[in-house]
Amino acid sequence: MKKIGFLSFGHWTSSSQSQARSAADVLLQSIDLAVEAERLGMDGAYFRVHHFARQLSSPFPLLAAVGARTRKIEIGTAVIDMRYENPHYMAEDAGAADLIAGSRLQLGISRGSPEQVIDGWRHFGYRLNEGEDDAAMGRRHSETFLELLGGKGFAKPNPRPMFANPPGLLRLEPFSASLRDRIWWGSATNATAVWAAKLGMNLQSSTLKFDESGEPLHIQQAAQIRAFRAAWAKAGHARVPRVSVSRSIFPLMNDLDRSYFGQDEEQTDQIGFLDSTTRAVFGRGYAAEPDVLIEQLRKDDAIAEADTILLTIPNQLGVAYNAHIMEATLTAVAPALGWR
Q: Is 251 helix (H, G, I), strand (E, B) or coil?
A: strand
pTM for the model stands at 0.95
According to DSSP, the β-strands at 208-210 and 279-282 are antiparallel
| Burial track 213-233 (b if 16+ CB lie within 10 A, e otherwise) | eeebbbbbbbbbbebbbebbe
Binned at pLDDT 50, 70 and 90, residue 276 comes out as low
pLDDT in tens, 102-131: 999 999 999 987 788 999 999 999 999 999
Helical (H) or strand (E) element with 196: helix 190-198
Return d(Cα 340, Cα 327) in angstroms, integer: 13
What does the pLDDT read at residue 194? 98
> For 259, left (φ over 0), alpha (ψ -120 to 50), or beta?
alpha
Q: Phi, psi (5° rounding) for residue 88?
A: -70, -50
Return d(Cα 78, Cα 112) in angstroms, integer: 10
Q: Decide if pLDDT at 270 tops 90.
A: no
Q: Is 120 helix (H, G, I), strand (E, B) or coil?
A: helix
Closest-CA residue to 85 (of 115, 49, 61)? 49
pLDDT in tens, 78-97: 999 999 999 999 999 999 99
Q: Phi, psi (5° rounding) for residue 168?
A: 85, -175
Q: Is 106 helix (H, G, I), strand (E, B) or coil?
A: strand
For residue 164, the Cα-to-chain-centroid distance in whole angstroms is 39
Return d(Cα 145, Cα 86) in angstroms, integer: 8
Let me know: does 285 contact 266? Beta carbons within 8 Å. Answer: yes
pLDDT in tens, 140-151: 999 999 999 999
Binned at pLDDT 50, 70 and 90, residue 55 comes out as very high
pLDDT in tens, 278-291: 788 888 899 999 99
- How much of the chain exceeds pLDDT 70, in percent? 99
What does the pLDDT read at residue 1? 77
